[in-house]
Amino acid sequence: MARLPDGALMQRAAAGLASVCARVLPAVYGSRVVLLAGGGDNGGDALYAGARLARRGARVHAVQAGSKIHEGGLAALLAAGGRVLRDGEETAAVADADLIIDGLTGIGGTGGLRAPYDRLAALASQAPGVVVACDVPSGVDASTGRVEGTAVHADVTVTFGTHKPGLLIDPGASHCGVVELVDIGLGPDLPDPDVVAARPADVQPPEPGSESDKYRRGVVGVLAGGEEFTGAAVLATGGAVRGGAGMVRFASVARPAELVRQRWPEAITTVIEPGPHGPEVLERVGRVQAWVVGPGLGTGDAGESLLEAVLTTDLPALVDADGLTVLARRRDLLRRAAPTVLTPHAGELARLIGADREAIEAGRLEHVRRAAAELSATVLLKGSTTLVAEPDRPVRVNPTGTPRLATAGTGDVLSGLVGALLAGGMPAIDAAAAGAYLHGLAGRLAAAPEPGGEAPIGAHDVINALPEAFRRTAQGVARQM
């Protein structure tokens, strides 16, 4: 900013904002546009963009939200034929507008919106016209995605320079609509990010080479399922098989072991007796490069003994479902040097770190960071926005997925998939991020194999879509090269 003339970045931002607005309107000439202008730079961006639209024949009216308004932007708007609405005119104008530009607050806004900003945000969200947010929807914390009180629900968010974490992480992300990035020339001098969203090249799993065999590709051990929850065993094993493991070794009591043998004959199954076990039980399963433990395992003494046996090894381990419930009372088991991946949803994370579930949902970024630091583990927080955190590393935000994945058993598939990637030699944070990406993409492919909208899916549909998800990811890497 110091190297550029005063106002240069704002003009670039306004030009990009006006261009996007022109694209979403059926026609600029004669359209009715309302600008919600706060006193900061985003209000200036909105006013300058409104001036550009007014010069193309739009009827542009501005609402001054507070006691201040960007003087240069206001002068440009008035010179182009726009006008400022008087008190009491804004309700009807917003209701009749074809396009509303939200420039109430900017990326520095924190906490809930106060009057009259909250009222204007509600008016915009309820209006039938298209709502375009400037940089970040007002009421959304740009750094975290928190929403405290009223916030604008945008159809399109035009953000400048770089994506902000609040645009990627719920609940803020659900307010953004389609996010359009406008390059305003910040160049390569941006600071290192503390939140990143993956591209295909960032999640590429290891590819087998000419010298590969089933052992070199990775052997994953799966301890899952019990007499009560047999399906978790089948699904976690399926995720591992379709996740690229060279071999899957599965162990449980007789009934789930038999079901896995029938559904996945390529898996090596071991029947273990009911009841608690010592570390020697793992020797019966055979040699592996990583463990998956927890789905459907039960939370009693038997399940706890198997979890303890796994976590006392020096191998990478993924803990999910019932294993996480046991860990909530046995956090001492996490004192290990080997990589550990935990895959909780918000309720499980609440038990692990003694937090409120609603607080976690409202502040996902804050809590996943806290959990990674407290538990000294890689934490994959599942939910509407999947986040992967590791101490002293940027948080990974998963950009794939669909609400259709919110169905029983899909988490078990994810566990097996990430376990296979761990066994293949990927570092814990990379395996977790890649697993989330591929799992989310498989969910999308399963729900919408053809254009025309999504359909209900089950966990087995996700397993069956994993090979295509791997192919699509590889194709995406090729396009990036």
Binding site membership: which residues? 232, 296, 345, 382-386, 411-412
Beta-bridge mates of residue 147: 140
In terms of residues, how long is the chain? Answer: 481
Closest CA to 433 of 388, 400, 474, 395: 388
Is the Cβ–Cβ distance between 383 and 170 less than 8 Å? yes
> DSSP secondary structure string, 386-413?
-EEE-TTSPEEE-----GGG-STTHHHH
Provide the annotated binding site for AMP.
382-386, 411
Query: Do 221 and 292 contact (CB within 8 A), yes or no?
Result: yes
Give CA–CA dist 141/146, Å, rounded: 5
Nearest to 419 by CA among 341, 330, 365: 341
Residue 248: name the closest of 436, 421, 474, 429 by CA.
Answer: 421
Instruction: Show Cβ contacts of residue 150 under 8 Å, excluding neighbours closer than 6 positions.
Output: 112, 113, 118, 121, 122, 125, 139
Q: How far apart are CA 241 and CA 247, in angstroms?
A: 7
Q: What are the structure tokens assigned to 290, written together?
A: 């990583």
Whole-number Å distance between alpha carbons of 478 and 476: 5
Six-digit token string for 230: 């047999």
Could you list the residues known to form a binding site for (6S)-NADPHX, using ranges: 232, 296, 345, 412
